[in-house]
Structure 1
């Protein structure tokens, strides 16, 4: 494709901070926008052809044929857009983002892709403009890029959207609370004077953080073959059934080995004294990954930090905080989880 930026282009990233800032790290003015929970995508349009690149510079084009058609039909001139691919679900007035339906779109079969494109069509939310016609905008300040983006997308319609922004930190704090009910996972802050820096964590992201006491159900061996790679976690539902809700990982080399010894007394064993193991569901993004685990007696409680739920599971890997020997595992229920107030996605996306 003949465009004024190198392809593929790494997207600019964000670093996490705990609260909505009033100004940037160097005191500069900020623009705030919703943090969409989907697939990051950079859309390239040369006036004829469309390509969509992922955060890891892999192509997403074949998985979203409906977006290719939309971008080709609606974009008024050659350009490079930075944005997010999402799937919307729910009845009118109660729409929200649907991560599970979005993740199912990554499928090897062309027939399946076409079927899902009709059943669960995706949308593209643009939040930055990296090039237009024969001009690269990478060295332009965000304030300029945003203004050009608003001009470019002035007449587009769903499923192509322009994300909303505000320069009011108080409004951004409201978004952080309200928009979670529509499935969004935070707020992003960008310096108005900042240029676009591919691959660098220049933006700021503020995500929801909560804690929960969970029961340790099992562990997976680290990919190196030595020590514990992750702990599998569970919570009791209203019927008293212990249900898996996700995992916690990111242990140091020394801690992984310590955990093997610490968890040994809790390992479930069969009549012959062998450790009881299980097999988890394979992720379509890493189908060759070992998903086996060693089952434990549900007697150990750990407090973790998490950002949000996707159905009855943690949306992302949780973070280890501390052991809770004072907690009865049976007291670790779904009732302790904070549920966001429902909020209509249509009010966010417009």
Structure 2
């Protein structure tokens, strides 16, 4: 493709926040946050490509949006947006995930039965001009001029009004949306940087599933072992997701079976980031599962190692010392995410509070 950007390019990201960012009216632009697959749409004439946030091609999985995108976009353009699957009951992320399938016949069938749509919320290039160095206040009008909305391509709405944004945050959840995105109006488009703010209805994180432990009755998966990478790429254990129903425990056992590493295969097991969990010294410089329990020295903390290829979204209460405060809850699989992209910088950081303030002392 002949476009005025260095490709591939990583989309701009958002940092989690518990509330709308502070500022004067007009400092921030707020938009609904959609629950789908992030996508960069690249068009050069009759050629249209869809790229995930990690640069992976998505084009073959969503053939039904290609012609609508040609009708909606200029001949040459790069647009940032979200692929979603709307239903009468709201957005359905599970239906979206089913589209990532190796059989083209199944993809085509689902494209007809549960067609996807694209919501555009930023523009990176039009014609021969790169727009990433323009402030958002200039990019938004360019996006509005570039998009011709149709049945399957939409322009995301937005507002400077905080009351409206808060109303969206509350009401739009009933339609399956995640929350609200805040964009500084003076900001340029910085690929791969968390320059926006996302306010979601719960704390969630995308984590690597690196292993599991059997349920205490031996019938299925009792808990998933979760990991997040630090800035050096090292995978740290951040806790577990548990409390699965009996049927789900058995289903997980079957689903994860192809990823199980045989500990007797020394070469394969040595590649696992937590292969040294049985060595007490290995726990001194980092976080991995299997260290002795402070509460029950006889408790079996061994686990079944998995190839670190699956990403899950989990909900959690808070993070203390690099780990989830309590057992997290499995939300869904994230087939659109790379394990390497699951990093600590995605987590909401809770501001520290002095104990004296908690106790009401001065």
Describe the SS at the equivalent of 2:95.
helix
RMSD between aligned residues = 4.2
1:21 aligns with 2:13: no
Tell me the CA shift for residue 73 of structure 1. 2.9
| Unmatched tracts of structure 1, length 5 or more | 269-274, 290-301, 311-315, 320-350
Residue 190 of structure 1, aligned match among 173, 183, 188: 183
Residue 218 of structure 1, aligned match among 219, 223, 226: 223
Q: Deviations over 1:233-285 (max 9, x none)?
A: 1167xxxx7966x9xxxx996553565535774559xxxxxx8x8899x99xx
Contact 2:223 / 2:240 at 8 angstroms: preserved in 1? yes
1:271 aligns to what?
A: none
2:117 aligns to what?
A: 123
2:262 aligns to what?
A: none
Describe the SS at the equivalent of 2:243.
strand
Describe the SS at the equivalent of 1:52.
strand
1:109 aligns to what?
A: 103
Describe the SS at the equivalent of 2:293.
helix
2:60 aligns to what?
A: 62
Residue 165 of structure 2, aligned match among 145, 157, 172: 172
1:204 aligns with 2:173: no
Q: Deviations over 1:278-313 (max 9, x none)?
A: 899x99xx4699xxxxxxxxxxxx74577x966xxx
**Count of matched residue positions in the alignment of Structure 1 and Structure 2:** 275
Taking a change above 3 Å as real, the CA distance of residues 175 and 167 of structure 1, as seen in their structure-2 partners, is same
Taking a change above 3 Å as real, the CA distance of residues 260 and 124 of structure 1, as seen in their structure-2 partners, is farther
Q: Residues of 2 paired with 1:235 and 1:66: CA distance?
A: 36
Q: Residues of 2 paired with 1:192 and 1:222: CA distance?
A: 35
2:316 aligns to what?
A: none
1:52 aligns with 2:50: yes
Residue 139 of structure 1, aligned match among 124, 133, 147: 133
Contact 1:53 / 1:60 at 8 angstroms: preserved in 2? yes
Q: Deviations over 1:71-105 (max 9, x none)?
A: 1233243211000011112x3xxx31111110111
Describe the SS at the equivalent of 1:261.
coil
| Unmatched tracts of structure 2, length 5 or more | 205-214, 217-221, 230-234, 253-282, 313-324, 333-341, 348-362
Q: Deviations over 1:96-150 (max 9, x none)?
A: 1111110111111111111111111111000001111111111111111111111
Q: Residues of 1 paired with 2:28 and 2:238: CA distance?
A: 39
Q: Deviations over 1:24-76 (max 9, x none)?
A: 8xx97110001111111000111221011111011111111111122123324
TM-score, normalised with respect to structure 1 = 0.66
Map 1:190-269; keep pairs closer than 5 Å. Answer: 190-209=183-202, 217-218=222-223, 220=225, 230-234=239-243, 255-257=287-289, 259-262=291-294, 265-267=298-300
1:150 aligns to what?
A: 144
Deviates more, 1:257-266 or 1:80-89: 257-266
Q: Residues of 1 paired with 2:12 and 2:236: CA distance?
A: 35
Contact 2:293 / 2:299 at 8 angstroms: preserved in 1? no
Q: Residues of 2 paired with 1:113 and 1:147: CA distance?
A: 35
Q: Residues of 1 paired with 2:244 and 2:172: CA distance?
A: 26
Q: Residues of 2 paired with 1:255 and 1:303: CA distance?
A: 16
Q: Deviations over 1:172-220 (max 9, x none)?
A: 1121222122111121111111111111111111112369xxx994354
Q: Residues of 1 paired with 2:176 and 2:119: CA distance?
A: 14
